[in-house]
Amino acid sequence: MSLDLSNVSKRFGKLQAVRGASLKVSPGEGYAIIGPNGAGKTTLIKCLLRFYPRHGGATTFDGQPLLEVMSKQRVGYLPERLTFNPLATASDYLELQALVRGLRFSSLATRVRNLAERLDLARWLRTPLGRFSKGMTRKLAFIQAVMHEPRLLILDEPTDGLDPVARRTVLGMVRELLAGGATALMTSHLLADLERVSDRVGVMLGGQLVAEIPLAELRSSGECTATLSRDGAGRRELYLRPGSAVDLGGEPWTVEGLALRQRTLEDWYHEVLRERDAEGVRA
Amino acid sequence: MIRAIRAKLTSILADRWFLAIAITFVACLNYAVLLGSGLLQPRPETEALNQVLRYTLLINNFHITCQTWGLLLPIFLGCRILADDRASGQLYVTLTGNPRRARFLLGNWMALVAATLLIMAVVVANYWTLALTLKIKTVLPDFLVVMGSILLNMLVLLTITAAAASAGTIVTGIIAGLGALTVFNLAAYQSVPFIAGGNVAMGYATRRLLATLVPIQFVYAPSVSHAASLARYVVVPYVIGNMFIWQGVFIGLVLGLSLAVFQRRDL
C-alpha cells in the first residue's frame, strides 16, 4: 500500500506554493519532508488530504484516490496545531473522534487505554481539557491520529512540545505502526527526531522537492578520525570515510585514539541548502 | 451527528463572548419591557385599555429588542461557523476522519441552529415570566406569530452569515450578516411606519422583494400617542402571504448554495 504523489502543484494567485512535487512512499516506510518555513511542506500535505481540492497532479494510496481512503478511516492525521474544547474531557474527545470516523469507541477503548498509559495520560482521561498542559494536549492529539491504527499516517511536527521521554515513546509508536505495514509522511524541524523514525528524507525548497536521501546512506556516510603514532615518525591523523583508500607505507602504526563522527541529517540538510543557495533556489 | 452537534454546542456555550452578548440581550429585553409595560400604573376605570396597552407594549418591546440586540446573536454565531474549527485544527482532523464536507458544514449549521433555539427558549421563558409577574394576559396566536417571526428572522440571518463565512472568512460573514440586518431593518421599518415614525412610500412588490432577501413581518401595534383610537389599530398580527414558507425556502436555497461552494473551496 504505497503512497503516490505525482506532479502535485498548487498556486495561490501569483504564488506557486508547490510545483511539480512527486514522490512514492512504500508500505512500512517513513518519509520525512524538511525545509525552511514557507517552503510548501504544509501546503503539500493539504493537497494530499484534499483540503485544497483544486490542485494539480494526482495523489493516490494503494492505487485509490485519497478521498476514498479517508472515507474508509484508514488515514491518521496530526496537524501542527490542534487545540480542544476546554470543557470536554480527553475521553469525550476521543469518543467523538471515533464517532466522526464512523467507528465504535468500545472497539477502540483497549487500544486508547494502552496508548494513554504508554504516554502517561491514562489518569488524565476524565479531566477537562482546559486543564491540560501543552505537552499533554500534544499527546492527546497524537492518540487521536493513531488510535484507529491507520494505514497512512500524516504527522506534522509530531514531537513538538513533548518531553524527552514522551518524544521517545511517540517515535517508538510510529516505528511500531511502520513495522506493521503502515506508511508515514512526516514533517518536522526537529531533525534528530526524524532521523530516528524516517527511512527517507526529502528537502523542500521554493515549493519543490529538491533533494532526497535514504537515512541508511546518511548513516554510512560519517567519518572517523584515527590518531596514529610510530616511534621516530611522531603522530599523524587519518580521516577515514567509507570507500577511502589508506596507505600507511607498510609500517606498523599504533592507534592512539579514534573519533567517530556520524554525518547527521542536519549536516546533510545544510549542505543541500548551501548547494541550492549557490544555484539561487530559496524558500 | 447528534454527538457532533452537542460537541459544537458545548464549545459555543463555553465562549465568553457569546455568553456576554446573550446575557446583555436578555437584560435589554427585560429592561425594555419594564420600561414599557411595567411602569404603567393600572387604574380601575381604564383597566381594559391598560390591559391592551400593557400587552401590546410587552409584545412589541420584545419584538423590537429582538430585532436590534437579538439579531446580532445569529450574526455572531454564523460568522464563526468554521473559524473556531479552523483555528483549533479540528476542521482538518474531522475532515480526515470523515471527508464528507457537506455533512460537516450541515452539522455545524445545525449546532448553530440549536444554539439559536436555546436562546429563543430563554426568551420565551423570559416572556412568560414577565407576563405572569405583570399579570398581562397573552393572546397565544399573536405570541406564536411574534416568536415564530423572531426565530425565523434569526435563522435567516444565521444562514446568510454562515454561508458567507463558510465561503470566505469570518469578516466576510460579519459584512454579509450586518448587510442583511440593515436590509431587514429597512424593510421592517418601512412596513411598520407608525412605529418608526416615518412613512416613506414603498410598494408591495418592493417590500416583497426585500422580504425575499430578508423577511418582513407585520406585527401591528397601537401607537401610544393615539391611545384614543386604539381599537382600530388593534389587529391580529399576521405575516405577508406565505412568508414563513418563503423564509424556509430562502434558508434552504442559501444553505444549498453554501454547501456547493464549500465542497470546492480551499481550507
Residue for grid cell 420565551: B124
Nearest by Cα to A4 from A51, A54, A69, A52: A69
CA distance A69 to A62: 9
Whether A71 has its CB under 8 Å from any CB of chain B: the answer is: yes
Whether A52 has its CB under 8 Å from any CB of chain B: the answer is: yes
Predicted local distance difference test score (pLDDT) of residue A233: 77
Residue for grid cell 465562549: B15
Please judge whether A71 and B89 are an interchain contact, meaning their C-beta atoms are less than 8 angstroms apart. Answer: no
Residue type, B36: G
Number of CB atoms found within 10 A of residue B24's CB: 13
pLDDT tens-digit series, residues B64-103: 777 777 888 899 999 989 988 888 899 999 888 887 888 8
Beta strands in A178-253 (DSSP E): 183-187, 200-205, 208-214, 223-230, 234-240
Number of CB atoms found within 10 A of residue B108's CB: 22
Q: Over chain A, what is the mean pLDDT? A: 88
Nearest by Cα to B217 from B196, B198, B197, B190: B190
Please judge whether B93 and A144 are an interchain contact, meaning their C-beta atoms are less than 8 angstroms apart. Answer: yes
Cβ A272 vs Cβ A210: under 8 Å: yes
In order of A222, A246, B67, the CA distances from B153 in angstroms are: 71, 87, 8
Alpha carbon of residue A100 to chain centroid:
26
In order of A160, A222, A223, A254, the CA distances from A244 in angstroms are: 39, 12, 10, 20
Please judge whether A84 and B98 are an interchain contact, meaning their C-beta atoms are less than 8 angstroms apart. Answer: no
Of B4, B90, B266, which is closest to A51 when you measure between CB atoms?
Answer: B266
Mean per-residue pLDDT, A257-273:
86
Predicted local distance difference test score (pLDDT) of residue B61: 74
CA distance B100 to A29: 29
| Residue B189's pLDDT band (cuts 50, 70, 90) | low
A40 dihedral zone (left: phi>0; alpha: psi -120 to 50; beta): left
Cβ A115 vs Cβ A143: under 8 Å: yes
**Residues of chain B neighbouring A80 (CB-CB closer than 8 A):** 89
Antiparallel, parallel or unpaired: β A200-205 and A208-214: antiparallel
Please judge whether B89 and A82 are an interchain contact, meaning their C-beta atoms are less than 8 angstroms apart. Answer: yes
Number of CB atoms found within 10 A of residue A197's CB: 22
Predicted local distance difference test score (pLDDT) of residue B188: 61
Nearest by Cα to B160 from B144, B180, B146: B180
Predicted local distance difference test score (pLDDT) of residue B18: 81
Please judge whether B89 and A52 are an interchain contact, meaning their C-beta atoms are less than 8 angstroms apart. Answer: no
SS3 call for B79: coil
Q: Over chain B, what is the mean pLDDT? A: 74
**Is the model's pLDDT at A28 over the cut of 80?**
yes
Of B49-58, B95-104, B107-116, B231-240, minimum mean pLDDT range: B231-240
* pTM as predicted: 0.79
Cβ A126 vs Cβ A91: under 8 Å: yes
In order of A17, A43, B83, B238, B266, the CA distances from A12 in angstroms are: 7, 10, 20, 51, 10
Please judge whether B264 and A88 are an interchain contact, meaning their C-beta atoms are less than 8 angstroms apart. Answer: no
Element (H, E) at A65: strand A64-65
**Residues of chain A neighbouring B96 (CB-CB closer than 8 A):** 49, 70, 75-77, 154
B83-92 exposure pattern, b = at least 16 Cβ within 10 A, e = fewer: bbbeebbbbb
In order of A158, A196, A211, B169, the CA distances from A265 in angstroms are: 17, 10, 12, 40
Q: For A14, list phi and psi in degrees, rounded to 5.
A: -85, -10
Of A49, A86, A97, which is closest to B14 when you measure between CB atoms?
Answer: A86
Element (H, E) at A257: strand A254-261
**Is the model's pLDDT at B219 over the cut of 50?**
no
Residue type, B149: S
Residue type, A151: R
DSSP category for residue B228: G
CA distance A49 to A66: 7
Cβ A201 vs Cβ A213: under 8 Å: yes
Of B3, B14, B96, which is closest to A49 when you measure between CB atoms?
Answer: B96
Strand partners, A32: A186, A201
Q: For A31, list phi and psi in degrees, rounded to 5.
A: -115, 125
Residue A128 burial class via C-beta count within 10 angstroms: exposed 0-12, middle 13-18, buried 19 and up? middle
Cβ A216 vs Cβ A222: under 8 Å: no
Give the list of residues 6+ apart from residue A135 with CB closer than 8 angstroms, or none. Answer: A161, A162, A163, A166
Chain B interface, best mutation among A15, A93, A100, by max B CB count within 10 A: A100
* HSE-CB for B267 with a 13 A CA cutoff: 31
Predicted local distance difference test score (pLDDT) of residue A283: 57
Predicted local distance difference test score (pLDDT) of residue B255: 93
In order of A1, A7, A155, the CA distances from A152 in angstroms are: 9, 20, 10
**Residues of chain B neighbouring A54 (CB-CB closer than 8 A):** 264, 266
Cβ B111 vs Cβ A117: under 8 Å: no
Predicted local distance difference test score (pLDDT) of residue A115: 92
Number of CB atoms found within 10 A of residue B47's CB: 10
Of B99, B100, B266, which is closest to A54 when you measure between CB atoms?
Answer: B266
Predicted local distance difference test score (pLDDT) of residue B201: 46
**Residues of chain B neighbouring A102 (CB-CB closer than 8 A):** 98
Residue type, A246: V
DSSP category for residue A80: S
Question: Smallest CA–CA separation between B109 and chain A, in Å?
Answer: 16
Please judge whether B93 and A75 are an interchain contact, meaning their C-beta atoms are less than 8 angstroms apart. Answer: no
Residue type, A209: L
CA distance B230 to B234: 6
Please judge whether B14 and A53 are an interchain contact, meaning their C-beta atoms are less than 8 angstroms apart. Answer: no
Strand partners, B238: B218
Question: Smallest CA–CA separation between B15 and chain A, in Å?
Answer: 10
**Is the model's pLDDT at A118 over the cut of 80?**
yes
**Residues of chain A neighbouring B4 (CB-CB closer than 8 A):** 96, 99-100
Whether A40 has its CB under 8 Å from any CB of chain B: the answer is: no
Chain B interface, best mutation among A71, A85, A96, A155, by max B CB count within 10 A: A85
Q: Taking CB atoms and an 8 Å cut-off, how many pairs form between chains A and B?
A: 80
**Is the model's pLDDT at B220 over the cut of 50?**
no
Predicted local distance difference test score (pLDDT) of residue B39: 58
**Helix, strand, coil: what percent of chain B each, to 5?**
80, 0, 20
Residue A261 burial class via C-beta count within 10 angstroms: exposed 0-12, middle 13-18, buried 19 and up? exposed
**Is the model's pLDDT at B200 over the cut of 60?**
no
